[in-house]
Amino acid sequence: MGEGRTFFDKVRIDGVDLWQRLEQPLPQVDLSTILTALHYIHIKTCLLDVYHADYPLVEARELIPAFDAPLIEYQDLPAFSLVVFDRQLSYQDEGFQYDQLVYEGQPPIPSRVAANRALLKMRVPRNLVSEVDRILGRRALTPLGRYARLLPLLAHMDRGHVLARGPDGCFRLAGVFASFPSDLDGEIKRFGRRIGKFVPGDNDLYAANRHFVYRFFMEQSGFPICGERHTSAALFARRLLRRRESFAIKVLGTSDRTITTLTSLGAYRGLPAVEKTALVAVPKNEKDTIRRLKRGGYFVDPKRRTVILRVRYINHRYHADNVLEDRALSVASQEVIHPFHGRARRGLDILGLSQDRMLALNDIVRGEFMGSILYGRERIQGTASPADRLKFLAAWLRKHHSILADYSPDNFKRLLRVINSYLEDPNRRAEFQRHRKLHQEVKRTVAGLRYYHRLRLLEKLVRTRSDASGRKLQHHQILAILVHALRHEGQALLRHHPRILDKLLQICRRQLDNRYLKRRYLRRPPKTALERKTVSQYRRLAAQVKRLERLARKRRSHQGFSLESPGAIG
């Protein structure tokens, strides 16, 4: 693990050694440069310095949206919340609570240094009070050059800390014991009403959609539904963006073991830019990747294949007519950070996003998969027992449904063949009868996935006028395909998957509203055979859409509002 060396000892920022740069008070340094320095400081202190042979590595799958809520707290590991402002603070006007550390001056004024040191001693855990004097002595504590030394104390403090520019223009530690504002109830309700999932006074609608709205809202900021530290970071980031602040929020939990950064730099449409950094193990079957990383010295621990992985994400705005309605975040890039010179190795797929998932699926259905996954609030380790295999398969399909739904028709057929070879195996009837509920759950999940795959193909067909093989189709052909889909699947969707039917009808309406189609074929009586064919198919599709919309309204009025989960695929 790099014995005899210090992690990030060769990192240079703008041609200057990282640690020398931190000791230099430079007012002209921008927020981006400070975040680069903090990136290395936080990884070194909170991930690498506490790493050991039994360190609980983050599974690469846990960094792929949708995120699972962590189940275990590792209380001996560091945790922190940090907000960085690219300006001076106005203590009374900030809109959140924190204990102010006063500017100590240059050279430092002893009385101010003593006041700051006394405040810090009040806020660190009692067993660490003596560490304050050991680390600081009588030196000033707010300059950025002291931050790396103080971080082990700050990472054992219950609340957050604050960095901002001082009167001299330099970034400094400006506050501790910070509580980020967290109006979760108000934010969730406002967001749910804005996207049409909540209606004032309709409690049944609220009950049906609350979990979906809550999960989508949190995941747009890079988190599952989880603890207060992460929730308040997500809410505060949105609040600061609305105020047009230049900022960054960084948070690390003892459960997720992942440093998450939310920042206004690169923010898009009112949502913060999101990135995560964690220690993960490169899959052992990635022989070529392991060889390249080993040759470049990128392993923190070669025996465990441990690397520093940084993942950047793309936020997605909510749109009700999206087939994959529940996709709030997706991976934009991934890179491995060198533990000594800090440079990033790009072009590697540690998360396995481009891999053919058929190999993993084969191992799951055969009971040979050795990884773990969350099934509800239960951690499933491996697939050896029949019950664990069914639970693992159900959770795995849900975890990867947005990727699997985008498979080509040929690859999706391969996927179904592998799954059905297991679910329909006559030699397993007695086994499935013992676990009937789990077996039925997996079958429902597969059925929903099959529908979503078809919808994605239709959605792309209407958007690009091309089929799965890239062949351009004429409008009458597209209309005929949609008519066929409604005739053959509309009734079944109405009974069993009304929300999926809503998506299909939305795709059909998009084709019916096509401006060129209306202008070219519907403004005057058809004259040619092509025009007559197109108008005929248009009218058939319009009639099918009206019929199913009428039946859907009638069904809802008779049965009341369904509590089917809007984000589920089963």
- Report the alpha-carbon distance of residue 234 to residue 181 in Å, rounded: 10
556 against 110, higher pLDDT: 110
Per-residue CA distances from 181 to 87, 99, 187, 228 (Å): 19, 15, 11, 11
92 against 567, higher pLDDT: 92
pLDDT tops 80 at residue 537: yes
Query: pLDDT tens, 417-458?
Result: 889 888 988 888 899 999 999 999 999 999 888 888 888 888
The pLDDT value recorded for residue 3 is 52
Query: pLDDT tens, 69-100?
Result: 777 888 899 999 999 999 999 999 998 999 99
Q: Produce one character per residue of 371-394: b if its CB has 16 or more CB atoms within 10 Å, e if not.
A: bebbbeeeebebbeebebbbbbbb
> What's the mean pLDDT in 500-524?
88
pLDDT tops 50 at residue 414: yes
Tell how strand 80-85 and strand 160-165 pair up. Answer: parallel
527 against 238, higher pLDDT: 238
pLDDT tops 70 at residue 356: no
Across the chain, mean pLDDT equals 87
Helix (H, G, I), strand (E, B) or coil at 273: strand
Contact 231, 218 (CB under 8 A): yes
pLDDT tops 50 at residue 6: yes
> What's the mean pLDDT in 362-389?
83
> What's the mean pLDDT in 231-250?
93
The pLDDT value recorded for residue 569 is 39
Domain boundaries of the chain, sorted by first residue: 97-179, 358-559
pTM: 0.75
Angle between helices 228-242 and 184-194 (to 10 degrees): 60
468 against 95, higher pLDDT: 95
Instruction: Name 307's bridge partners.
Output: 280
Query: pLDDT tens, 340-350?
Result: 999 999 988 88
Query: pLDDT tens, 147-195?
Result: 988 999 999 888 999 999 999 898 999 999 999 988 888 999 999 999 8
Helix (H, G, I), strand (E, B) or coil at 321: coil
Which of 113-117, 178-182, 477-481, 560-564 has the lowest average pLDDT?
Answer: 560-564
The pLDDT value recorded for residue 82 is 96
The pLDDT value recorded for residue 558 is 65
Tell how strand 271-281 and strand 160-165 pair up. Answer: unpaired
Residue 242, amino acid: R
- Residue 272 CB neighbour total at 10 angstroms: 27
- Residue 28 CB neighbour total at 10 angstroms: 7
Confidence of residue 111 (pLDDT cuts 50, 70, 90): very high
> What's the mean pLDDT in 461-469?
84
Q: Produce one character per residue of 440-470: b if its CB has 16 or more CB atoms within 10 Å, e if not.
A: ebbbbbbbbbbbbbbbbbbbbbbeebebeee
* In the block, residue with structure tokens 């998957």: 497
pLDDT tops 80 at residue 557: no
The pLDDT value recorded for residue 69 is 79
Structure tokens at 268: 């898009």
Query: pLDDT tens, 261-318?
Result: 999 998 887 889 999 999 999 988 788 889 999 999 999 999 999 999 999 998 888 8
The pLDDT value recorded for residue 265 is 93
Element (H, E) at 278: strand 271-281
The conformation of residue 513, written as its DSSP 8-state character, comes to: T
